[in-house]
Amino acid sequence: MVRSIQTIFQEFIEKKTLIFKDRNALTSDFTPDNIPHRDKEINTMASILAPSLKGGKPSNIFIYGMTGTGKTLVTKYVCSELERMSNQGTNQVKIIYINCKMKKTADTEYRLLAELSRILGQEVPITGLPTEQVYKIFFNVLDSTNWVVIIILDEIDSLVVKMGDDFLYNFTRINGELKKAKVSIIGITNDLHFIDILDPRVKSSLSEEELLFPPYNAIELQDILKQRVLLGLNPNIISEEVIPKCAALAAQEHGDARRALDLLRVAGEISERQNELKITEKHVDFALEKIDYDRIMESVKSLPKQTKSLLWSVIGLEEKGEKDIQTGDIYNTYEETCKQCALHPLTQRRVSDLISELDMMGIINARVISLGRYGRTREINMNTSPKIKDKMKEILKSGLMI
Ligand SMILES: Nc1ncnc2c1ncn2[C@@H]1O[C@H](COP(=O)(O)OP(=O)(O)O)[C@@H](O)[C@H]1O
Ligand SMILES: [Mg+2]
């Protein structure tokens, strides 16, 4: 007999979970009260921002480091403490946090300015006005009082991709026009090379102060995990090798605390689904496989059609038994694939760029080899299991409609 979905939900609510006390504490959205191993960064940021409590304009700060090194967490923490302190006293500091990756709030200059105005207390219609007018509205509400507004632009690289340098250039110079208010900008990026591609004028004003967040080592990651385990898991539920293992795997990647937390949480979910009483090393192994699988599938799904067509060609060649495929070999097959799915083939040079992109995403393995006096080429291999490859093919097939 089919159980009604009400029964399923009811059973879920009533079922005592053995593993999790508070699953939320092991997700990356959770904000812990305690931030180990970031004292130096917290103190530096606090000292740079402190003058705002007396009405001074703090330097703009440029924060960079690999993903999962605590940039967003630390910045939000320091800024919320600053705002709290200000609320107890002069009420002078206003913090605005924007994640530039969010489509709704930061896809165009219009949307971003509208969002900033809204946060400062002035609604703007979602569309319809000339951008210049939205800028004026923003400017007026910004300069309506004597406050210090600190604008955090997280994942600022995607802002520049969408709007170019000009927007930031004007934005970092806004203080020259303001009469009452003062603005400081905190730009955060996971992209270590981002600053090099910026216009030098934007670069110098954005990075009046620079703060690098180094990767965590395995021991530091263990401390971070231990703290979350106390909040998130029931006591005595993990075997002792689990935390060191999650920490070591994440340290190998690039000292990414998010990955360490994901591994632990997913390991917990797997053991719960299997109705086991403890999280063990075996569950971490499964978790690693599942996370990587999900990640690759997500990236394959979101590839542009041309890149999908190229990947399809690589898989096709490999399935014909070809090993160490060279760049030149792929091009013909790729042209064929394009014909099949009504795409206009790109030039060989562009295809070569796409190969590098796929390589960087970890979907294929493209090794540069020397052909002696004939120059250089790349040898391409898929570095995936048959299971992943089959799933990839399914996604590509429906994406390319072939
Ligand atoms: N020092 C730390 N202590 C506790 N949790 C941390 C620490 N550093 C990072 N985290 C956690 O790791 C995850 C990723 O951190 P986040 O600040 O988003 O990284 P980034 O912005 O550098 O990519 C978040 O869940 C965060 O709470
Ligand atoms: Mg972040």
> Ligand 1 mean position to 27 CA, how many Å?
10
Q: Residue 316 above 70 pLDDT?
A: yes
pLDDT at residue 340 above 80? yes
Which residue has its alpha carbon closest to ligand 1 atom 7? Answer: 70
**Three-state SS for 80?**
helix
User: Residue whose CA is closest, atom 17 of ligand 1?
Assistant: 70
Measured in angstroms, how far is the CA atom of residue 220 from the centroid of ligand 1?
A: 12
Identify the structural domains of the chain with CATH numbers, from first to last.
17-25+216-299 (1.10.8.60), 39-212 (3.40.50.300), 303-400 (1.10.10.10)
Indicate the pLDDT class of residue 7, thresholds 50, 70 and 90: confident
Mean pLDDT of 80-104: 91
Closest ligand to the CA of 73: 1
* In the predicted structure, residue 376 carries a pLDDT above the cut 80: no
**What span, in angstroms and rounded, lies between the C-alpha atoms of 339 and 174?**
51
Average pLDDT, the chain: 91
In this prediction, residue 1 carries a pLDDT of 56
Q: Read off the pTM.
A: 0.83
Instruction: Provide the token pair at 64.
Output: 């960079």
**Residue range 151-166: average pLDDT?**
90
Rounded distance from Cα 274 to ligand 2 centre (Å): 33
Ligand 1 site residues, Cβ closer than 6 angstroms: 28, 32, 35-38, 65, 67-73, 190, 213, 224, 257-258, 261
- What gap in Å lies between CA 63 and CA 155, rounded to an integer? 10
CA 168 – CA 203 distance, rounded (Å)? 9
Distance from Cα 256 to the centre of ligand 1, integer Å? 8
Ligand nearest to the CA of 99: 2
Q: What pLDDT is recorded for position 216?
A: 97
Reference 254, options 299, 192, 161; nearest CA is 192
Q: Closest ligand to 256 CA?
A: 1
Cα–ligand 1 centroid distance for 320 (angstroms): 45
The CA-CA-CA angle for residues 300, 306, 308, to 5°, reads 25
* Euclidean distance between CA atoms 141 and 183, whole angstroms: 13
pLDDT digits (tens, 9 = 90+) for 228-244: 999 999 999 999 999 99
Residue of minimum CA distance from atom 9 in ligand 1: 70
Q: Note the pLDDT tens digit of each residue in 116-129.
A: 999 999 999 988 89
In this prediction, residues 197-208 reach a mean pLDDT of: 89
Give the position, in ligand 1's atom list, of the atom nearest the Cα of 38. 1
The protein residue with its alpha carbon nearest to ligand 1, atom 25, reads 28
pLDDT score recorded for residue 170? 87
71, 152, 258, best to mutate for ligand 1 pocket (most atoms within 8 Å of CB): 258
